[in-house]
Amino acid sequence: MAAAVVAIGRACTYGAFRVAWRGFASVPVNGSCCSYSSLAWALQTRCFISAPWNVTVEQRRQSSFFNTLTADELWKGALAETGVGVKKGRGKRRKKKLRKNLNKGQEIGEGRSGFLWPGLNAPVIQNGKVQAVTQRKKEERERIQSEIVQQRDTWEKKRKIKIKREGGWSGKCWGGVLLDPPDPGPNGETYEEFETRVIEVKNVFCMKAKEGRKKSVRALVAIGNGKGAAGFAMGKAGDRMNALRKAKNRAVRCLHFIELYQNHTIYHDITVKFKSTNIRMKKQNKGYGLHCHRAIITICKLIGIKDMYAKVSGSKNLINITRALFKGLTQQETHQQLANQKSLYVVELREEQGPLPIVVALPEGPVRKDPEPEDEVPDTKLEWSEVKEAQGMKKSPWVNVRRTVCISPTEAHRDKANSYSAIQKVEVLLTHCITGGKGTCKLLQLIWHLTSAIQQPDATKPHLTVSLSCASPISPVPNSDTHSPTHCSAACR
């Protein structure tokens, strides 16, 4: 194209006129009544341009306010996301208009003019011939444009398919939810063997001078391969999914290796403190399971710990619990390290072995003959609840509590209607009475009146015998020959 322009400049030696390259100046054609608004199109159609004057080609680009703005600036004006109100933090509700991706459905080379460019939207060679630039018909162009608009609208209106995620600890809580593996590294390494779990997702806020109370999401994620390698990290972003993605990608770069005893538990009991959170971890035998806080259970499964007891006291903040757990597990001492430090044999005593110890580690250097001094013996703080349980002093708080209900005679005589309404629900059978104090005289008289309202008790139904005593004689029940007033008791269902 540039060579053709130079040739035209050399061919014309007289006069001067300007042609706007890709502009709107008309170029007359010799022997025809048509004109071309672009010199490039005139050269592509192989037409003959004759001019008796010199030709000066000047490149011009139409520039205005509308084609200098970026897409983000145009969308801000369309969605009304600009102004003082947005800067001050107002207008936080969801906008009715949503930003659309207008590039969806577009193909390179396709446009409203409907040109067919060989190599872009048309084959270069067809039927053994090199194709030239052609243009579609008007009806075909309108049909293609309507299909693109319809396809874009269907994509916007299409409902998002919700994939049911694995349930967490409870309900819709994000704690304990399984995530996808972290993103591949820069060198192509993958982390398919690592399992990622959510520990906490929380909304946090901060005050900005212009935006006001700004919301963001903070996510705590733990990752592990079940073989001792595990880590945790926090991610913060404007939405939940970006925060989870940042957290899991950071966690894979902050891994800790934790030693496991026989690949199922810790080496020894651990007591650790982080800020105001205290965790006491105990080594357990195989088959015991994980009796811990739910966050500790999730992290232990990622590490590979199968049997452990842990008690959390103090603050139950999940971040503090996670930090305290990793702090204690990474500081534990293996049996071999303990044997090398003390220069002594490390043995284990089991109940099934009796007094015979089991050697679990040998020192790599010489064994010392003098015993361990008292200063080197760790001062272990005992828990009073465990001491009481070991000595058999710990009892249930409900041992000495008697579940009895006492009804005074005055309350029983207060409302006869209520008393007789209760007769329909409780059956009382009077059998005998033991002489005793005067305190139950009125109550026993009430029982006599209750028995007079009962016809025949069902002998097949179970009865609860209640013995009453009375010192003074009581008048017998009318029309009752089987019951004695001096020796009686009540039976209630």
Concatenating the DSSP letter of every residue in 24-91 gives S--EE-TTSS-EES-HHHHHHTT-----SSEEEEEE-----STTTS-HHHHHHHHHT--SHHHHTT--
Domains and CATH numbers, the chain: 2-59 (no CATH), 112-151 (no CATH), 178-330 (3.30.230.10), 335-368 (no CATH), 409-492 (no CATH)
- Is this prediction's pTM over 0.85? no
Check whether 400 has a pLDDT greater than 80: no
Check whether 147 has a pLDDT greater than 50: yes
Task: Give mean pLDDT, residues 427-452.
Answer: 53
Give the per-residue pLDDT at 413: 59
Is residue 259 within 8 Å of residue 332, measured between CB atoms?
yes
Task: Give mean pLDDT, residues 426-434.
Answer: 47
Give the per-residue pLDDT at 311: 95
pLDDT class of 448 with cuts at 50, 70, 90: low
Alpha carbon separation from 205 to 84, 85, 216, 236, 237 (Å, rounded)? 21, 19, 6, 11, 11
Give the per-residue pLDDT at 441: 56
**Of 56-70, 121-135, 367-381, 456-470, where does mean pLDDT reach its minimum?**
456-470
pLDDT class of 312 with cuts at 50, 70, 90: very high
- State percent of the chain over pLDDT 70: 62
Q: Which residue has the higher pLDDT, 251 or 45?
A: 251
Check whether 310 has a pLDDT greater than 90: yes
Task: Give mean pLDDT, residues 154-179.
Answer: 76
Q: What is the pLDDT of residues 341-373, one digit of tens each?
A: 989 999 998 888 888 999 999 999 899 988 888
Check whether 267 has a pLDDT greater than 80: yes
pLDDT class of 83 with cuts at 50, 70, 90: low
Give the CA diameter of the chain: 151
Give the per-residue pLDDT at 323: 97
Q: Which residue has the higher pLDDT, 492 or 38?
A: 38
Give the per-residue pLDDT at 101: 73
Question: Nearest 5°: CA angle at 404, between 401 and 409?
Answer: 145
Is residue 9 within 8 Å of residue 47, measured between CB atoms?
no
Q: Which of 231, 277, 222, 282 is nearest to 254 (CA)?
A: 231
pLDDT class of 160 with cuts at 50, 70, 90: low
Task: Give mean pLDDT, residues 6-33.
Answer: 43
Give the per-residue pLDDT at 443: 58
Q: Which of 369, 366, 350, 370 is nearest to 358 (CA)?
A: 350
pLDDT class of 170 with cuts at 50, 70, 90: confident
Give the per-residue pLDDT at 224: 96
Check whether 337 has a pLDDT greater than 90: yes
Task: Give mean pLDDT, residues 434-446.
Answer: 53
Give the per-residue pLDDT at 159: 54
**Of 250-259, 333-342, 415-424, where does mean pLDDT reach its minimum?**
415-424
Q: Which residue has the higher pLDDT, 485 or 3?
A: 3
Q: Which residue has the higher pLDDT, 42 or 171?
A: 171
Give the per-residue pLDDT at 330: 95
Check whether 477 has a pLDDT greater than 80: no
Give the CA-trace dihedral at 391, 397, 400, 401, to 10 degrees.
-170
What residue type is 335 in one-letter code?
A: H
Helices (H), 331-402: 335-342, 384-390
